Amino acid sequence: MDTSKTLLSLNRTAVRSNSILGRYLIVESAAKANDLLVEELPFIHGPKCNGPTVCLECYAPVKCNNAAADQRCEECKWPLCANCNDAGAKYHRRWECSVFCQARAKFIPLQCDANGCPQLDCITTLRVLLAKEFDPNRWELEIAPMEYHNEERRKLSDVWNADFVNIAQYLRGPCRLADRFSEDLIMQVVGILEVNAFEARTVQGYALRCLYPITGILAHNCVPNTFRTIHPSEGYRIRLRAMCDIGEGQQLQHSYTYTLNGTAQRQEHLKAGKFFTCECKRCKDPLELGTNFSTFKCSKCEDGWLLPTNPLDSSCDWKCTLCSFKTSNNAVQKALTVMQAEVAVIQAMEPSPQKLQETEKLMRKYCVVVHPLHFVQIGLRQSLIEMYGRVAEYELAELPDVMLEHKEELCRQVLKVLDVFEPGLSRTRATLLYELHVPLVLLAKSGFIAGVLSAEALREKLLDVIGILRECVDILQYEDPETQEGNLCRVAQQAMEQLTQSVEGLTGDE
């Protein structure tokens, strides 16, 4: 792999830097939603830390006990599936294979790797180090300037010590690389990966991480204006597009946390993994841009809402919007912890009628505790949307109109939030649009059969659904066709074509 040729295009996009943000990206001229902004291949990719034993070529889980010799590299004897062995394992052998062979570094399988396989934690770091040797100029220009926050990471002593032993000491000791890579350099690379790498999925859905020199320096915002697609069938090529219209000179931003979490949860994730406090407009607004996404009901009056006086201050009070009641942030977060524990128990259940029913009960229970659009309620809605039509006793053919209307309303409530937090193109939105179209079609046909809808009214409703599916396809058309999202795009396209034929048939009847 020639790492000097991974940047494929930089459309109307430029790198800037300042003392606060470090390096970041802007658009030099206005961009429209869908416009391609950056396209590049990863500098390197490899397995995630704290993961199970995986093939070092395709990242599929493997077993490397003595009875499974075919799941080891023929040369270095490290994890490699039989298919990748037969195919030559070019990526693995391009990088770490010769290092392990020369050092006679043995891979020692674990009886159980449920808690991760520490010996594989060194792989991605080693690939970056070897790429640095291969192209030192590019390292100096693009990778070395990346943030790595070693001082902050040292304070997380358990994590730092584990990385130091499993990666730095292992590479310098058993792998015999002490004369090539210092401890400081190795820990710098570990930090660069922790702070800047993106998670990706193979075509089969296996997790890995990729380091992109340009896309990796995107600034963060809890309401992003870009979306990215990673294409495993094209060597994990990443394409960054405008999620919405972006004005000239505006900063390009992506969310490095889950947008459908509340402010306290997003802040905690960013501090723990990215080592900064987000001060975006959403984070500073107690109402989260009018959504009440973290709002609790007041327990002392009927119509009041509890809001934090300063969402960025973990020691702030929460006050009612109507009465004089106030409580501490700690009390609110403890209540939230109890709720999330209850949700986790149900989410851990296999999809079943019981899981669906328990999820509905929990959502009703929390109606008197939090705002209807609170992120816990939104999460429960998402779970229900996935189950209605897919679990026994609740298949689509069996759902009465009242349940179809319920699924429609669940979809619209989640979309209402996404309209604010992921305005424009987002794969979460596309998935919900697909889920929404199904009850709409069934309700329209049911109304027509019952004589409630005329042929013209049915036609209008189906045209609305076609518009919903078209938006879904417009979003997902940029996904790798071999991925789950790419497959959903094809299914949505087929559904849209079938509905179009149905509408044309109605027109012909008239």
Half-sphere exposure of 108 (CA within 13 A, CB side): 4
Q: What is the pLDDT of residues 376-411, one digit of tens each?
A: 999 999 999 999 999 999 999 899 999 999 999 999
Query: Residue 287 — pLDDT band, cuts 50, 70, 90?
Result: very high
Whether the pTM exceeds 0.85: the reply is yes
Half-sphere exposure of 121 (CA within 13 A, CB side): 25
For the segment 309-327, the average pLDDT, to the nearest whole number, is 96
Retrieve residue 459's tokens: 């036609």
Residue 34 has pLDDT above 80, yes or no: yes
Residues of the chain with CATH 1.25.40: 296-509
CATH class of 3-42+212-254: mainly beta
Residue 133 has pLDDT above 50, yes or no: yes
C-alpha pair distances (Å), 196 with each of 29, 149, 154, 163, 400: 26, 11, 17, 16, 48
Per DSSP bridges, beta strands 219-220 and 253-254 are parallel
pLDDT number for residue 67: 52
Residue 274 has pLDDT above 60, yes or no: yes
* 3-class DSSP state of 33: coil
For the segment 143-162, the average pLDDT, to the nearest whole number, is 91
**The residue count for the chain:** 510
Residue burial 399-419, b: 16+ Cβ < 10 Å; e: rest: beeeebebbbebbebbbebbe
The whole-angstrom separation of Cα 160 and Cα 170 is 14
For the segment 140-158, the average pLDDT, to the nearest whole number, is 91
For the segment 147-176, the average pLDDT, to the nearest whole number, is 93
Retrieve residue 140's tokens: 């100096």
Query: Residue 1 — pLDDT band, cuts 50, 70, 90?
Result: very low
The whole-angstrom separation of Cα 436 and Cα 495 is 13
Query: Residue 507 — pLDDT band, cuts 50, 70, 90?
Result: low
Task: Classify domain 296-509 by CATH number.
Answer: 1.25.40
Q: What rounded mean pLDDT belongs to the chain?
A: 93
Q: What is the pLDDT of residues 55-90, one digit of tens each?
A: 999 999 998 775 555 699 999 999 999 999 999 999
Residue 307 has pLDDT above 80, yes or no: yes
Q: What is the pLDDT of residues 288-298, one digit of tens each?
A: 999 999 999 99
pLDDT number for residue 312: 95
Q: What is the pLDDT of residues 181-240, one digit of tens each?
A: 999 999 999 999 999 999 999 999 999 999 999 999 999 999 999 999 999 999 999 999
Task: Name which of 13, 463, 393 is nearest 240 in CA terms.
Answer: 13
pLDDT number for residue 68: 53
For the segment 165-182, the average pLDDT, to the nearest whole number, is 97
Residues of the chain with CATH 2.170.270.10: 3-42+212-254
Residue 492 has pLDDT above 60, yes or no: yes
For the segment 449-471, the average pLDDT, to the nearest whole number, is 96
pLDDT number for residue 505: 83
For the segment 358-380, the average pLDDT, to the nearest whole number, is 97
Report helix, strand and coil shares of the chain as percent, to nearest 5: 50, 15, 35
